[in-house]
Structure 1
């Protein structure tokens, strides 16, 4: 005789299978990203160790949940509930950290954009990166077109007839403007700076990260509630079985 409600059990196992698949996809992504880990580390990005830990953790805990749901063993359910509680707390902490980092990056870049640009523009590798970013991102300069001095590169060239409606912009860039006085290069350049583009992209990525962390926290909370309910049903079944045995013995 089943100890747990069949609908709750099927739903519990189904969601753990979904998260096991997500864990496998995260591991696959970590394998693919490891090819570029050396280049990312050279740019100061964090290593991929955290991604491996998270991916393996999601897969392992999901497999534990599948086993606990199918076997209906109280000990396995208790262990899974403990992981859900710990995961909920960790995801909440990560979400708060991501939120603080987003605000700090936005504030620091907004307050010291010219100083940041001056320090970065001295690096030839960054100048090459910015030149490529301008062409694809439809922007000019890090904080302003003046970051390039009196020689504006051709990647800043803006074509109102093709990229915008009369220079008022389209989806992708904010329009065109005249080049700074006394500088050489294209007459019309992109009005949007690459710093604004990078802030927009970082905000987008941080918002995705916050959505994932808080989403996982809510999911862990719901998983914890479902597990506690299943433990209660298992205990009730055990008490009922013990009562029946006692009555038979009597």
Structure 2
């Protein structure tokens, strides 16, 4: 009978095996894109060095976990637990950085779009295109209804779900026309940039990065908890064996 519970050991080895295969897959991808890395670095793109560090680290730590569980080695288990604790902290910090960066990028995007919007709204051709877009996509203004200042066009008219009118594409969320402005009583709440999904792709990338960071943090937490349980089982087995041997000598 081993020092560690058999089911716990098998589960631990299984998930570390999956992590090792994922790390090998990352290394394979890095090898495949290695030819483009020099071009990206020359153009000012990000270096692939951190990718190599991450991929090799995943493989190395996973192999360490497999060895520690199979050999039931207390020192190796403690080293693995230390790596899991460090990984948990790093991934939590990365997740928080991504959340902050997402908010900053959105703010910069909106500010830049607002500056461009002032120039475009002075163009009659652009205003006509925007009105056609508002009719088809059920939106008001490129960034918000405030783009139209005090005169909101009829293309922004919105019919509430409970009202008498019906929008061709179904009911849309409506808001009341701001006080001091002229135009329809009810207008579309969403902007045309939302309808077109201008920020959608940027938001999707940040969502994936957040999910990746916090997902790895949860994985590291589980690995830390399981390794602590295994350390406790090994220490309990060794202490019990030592006590039994002492009584036997006596």
Task: Provide the aligned C-alpha RMSD in A.
Answer: 3.1
What secondary structure is seen at the aligned counterpart in 2 of 1:112?
A: helix
Deviation at 1:37, TM superposition (A): 2.2
Q: CA 1:32–1:64 in 2, change beyond 3 Å: closer, same or farther?
A: same
Q: Which secondary structure does the structure 2 equivalent of 1:3 belong to?
A: coil
With normalisation by structure 2, the TM-score equals: 0.67
1:178-206 deviations in whole A, cap 9, x for unaligned? Answer: xxxxxxxxxxxxx9669x65521121111
Indicate the residue corresponding to 2:239 in structure 1. Answer: 239
Q: 2:153 matched to which residue of 1? A: none
Q: TM-score scaled to structure 1, two decimals?
A: 0.67
**Quick one: structure 1 residues 58 and 40, their matched pair in 2 at CA, closer, same or farther if it must change by over 3 Å?**
same
Match for residue 203 of structure 1?
Answer: 203
Name the structure 2 match of 1:14: 14
In structure 1, the residue matched to 2:76 is 76
Distance of 1:42 and 1:146 partners within structure 2: 35
Once the two structures are TM-superposed, the CA of residue 36 in structure 1 deviates from its matched residue by: 2.4
Q: Is this contact kept in 2: 1:65–1:80, CA < 8 A?
A: yes
Match of 2:67 in 1: 67
The question of whether the paired residues in 2 share the 8 Å contact of 1:145 and 1:193 is answered with: no
Alpha-carbon displacement from aligned partner over 1:29-49 (angstroms, at most 9, x marks no partner): 222232322443455432211
Q: Which residue number corresponds to residue 25 of structure 2?
A: 25
Which residue of 1 is the match for residue 222 of structure 2? 222
The aligned runs of 1:18-57 (5 Å cut-off) are 18-41=18-41, 44-57=44-57
Q: Does 1:248 align with 2:245?
A: no
Change (3 A) 1:150 1:44: farther
Pairs within 5 Å for 1:132-151: 146=120
Task: Please say if residues 144 and 193 of structure 1, whose CA atoms lie closer than 8 Å, have aligned partners that are also in contact.
Answer: no
Q: What CA distance in whole angstroms lies between the structure 1 residues aligned with 2:204 and 2:33?
A: 20
* Structure 2 unaligned regions, length at least 5: 127-134, 139-190
Q: Say if 2:16 and 2:63, in contact at 8 Å, map to a contact too.
A: yes
Paired with 1:60 and 1:218, the residues of 2 have a C-alpha distance of 19
- Gaps spanning 5+ residues in structure 1: where? 118-142, 153-165, 170-190
C-alpha separation between the residues in 2 aligned to 1:150 and 1:35?
Answer: 48
Distance across 2 between alignment mates of 1:42 and 1:105: 25
In 2, Cα distance between the equivalents of 1:90 and 1:168? Answer: 43
Give the Cα–Cα distance (whole angstroms) in 1 for the partners of residues 137 and 9 of structure 2: 57
Deviation track 1:98-142 (CA, whole Å, cap 9, x = no partner) reads 111111111101112265x6xxxxxxxxxxxxxxxxxxxxxxxxx
| Distance (Å, rounded) in 2 between the aligned partners of 1:192 and 1:144 | 15
